[in-house]
Amino acid sequence: MGVSISLDDLLGARVRRDPYPFYARLHAMGEAVALRPDEPHALVVHGWAAVNRVLRDPVFRVLGAEYLDRAGVRWRAHPAIRIMQTSMLNAASGDHLRVRQVFSQALTPRRVTALEPAIVRIADGLLDRLAAAGAGGRPVDFMGAFALTLPSDVVGELLGVPERDRQWFPARVRAFDAVLEIGRRSMREVRAANVAATELTAYFTGLLAERRARPRADLVSALVGIRDRDPGQLSADELLANLIIMYNAGFRTTANLLGNGLVLLLARPDALAALRADPALAASYVEEILRYEPPVHFAVRYAAEDTEVAGLPVPAGRTVVVLTGAANRDPRRFPDPDSFDPSRTDNRHLAFSAGPHHCFGAALARAEGRLVLPRVVERFPAVALAAEPGERRQLMLRGYDRLPVRLGVAHRPIGALPNISD
């Protein structure tokens, strides 16, 4: 019998705190490893080449409604799960392509580029508030005061969520996202996610009605116009589900990119100094942060027919855990993968997945990281951790709940970075 592992190895507290030694063990076993026969999944796929293949192979599919229905339809009683199954996250291939094409008509590269001045304006306003909160050397929570708020405001700006409403979202997004983590969820978590899903649905139903009556130059108005011109392109449920998922994904993943990135830089003074001296390096820094400490570490796929991965059989109907976080540290793909090196010239990481389900908001996340990280480190030259950051206990939406920092003296040299008035 070949080598096998238990899913408990992946889900244990030690691995959740620091998964990378476990990933290194997996890489020593090849591109994939079998789980024990009594496990819910057939394999863990962790090598870069194997992960890239599974994410692109049409034989491997997302766990859509058709798949869940095989085990019964009780999942349909849960609003949070219904939203995920209706959205692009888990839509069947034909529906996924149709819905993605509709959203692509609205979220164009030009719209993302046009949003950049708003990203800068929002960032600078929040940095002003952060400086005030941390005046006199007081420790301030970077996540709560900045990293979580910024992407919430940016995606709110993109969609057309009024500024007065944006503080309402984070608590509901956190509750909803709890059901995304691998492994069992408590009924308390499921109930909280369902309440959040119901409230988010009601909010976006109201916003859609408002934008239908009074359109604006925002994404919700554009999507309403597309649906009204051709209702066959997008159902009302699909529109609602994808707006909720877009808000949630655009909020949490980018927040963790910023938090994880700041901690990495504070631990590496030379890299921090180089970025501060040359903000044009920010794009390559963002890519290495995403490779080295990605906000999302896994996906799950099922085999539509008998197949194999790295020579290991996967019977039709069985699922595999696809560890994108491990693939990003594969020594067969990345030289010295456990070193943080923003100068990598071939950095094709899988932090945004690959294939048909490549992250729809990747361009926006990259823009936020590229514009914002240099502004943070330039504004606060003496920024430092005020205490050890809290433990990260999740593999999906992996980031810090709190990140206490001391800012030191803040300054903003004139002309060092672009401003909204440029």
User: Can you give the residue ranges of every domain in the chain?
Assistant: 4-113+141-251+284-359
> What local confidence, expressed as pLDDT, does residue 412 receive?
55
What are the CA-CA distances from residue 352 to residues 111, 157, 327, 365 (Å)?
A: 20, 22, 12, 10
> What local confidence, expressed as pLDDT, does residue 418 receive?
35
Pair of tokens at residue 4 = 């096998």
pLDDT digits (tens, 9 = 90+) for 135-171: 999 999 999 999 999 999 999 999 999 999 998 998 8
Which pLDDT band holds residue 12 (cuts at 50, 70, 90)? confident
Average pLDDT over the chain reads 92
Provide the whole-model pTM: 0.92
Which pLDDT band holds residue 393 (cuts at 50, 70, 90)? confident
CA atoms of 127 and 314, how far apart (whole Å): 50
The CATH architecture of the domain made up of 4-113+141-251+284-359 is Orthogonal Bundle (1.10)
Nearest partner of 256 among 327, 312, 173, judged by Cα: 173
CA atoms of 251 and 233, how far apart (whole Å): 26
pLDDT digits (tens, 9 = 90+) for 29-38: 999 999 998 9
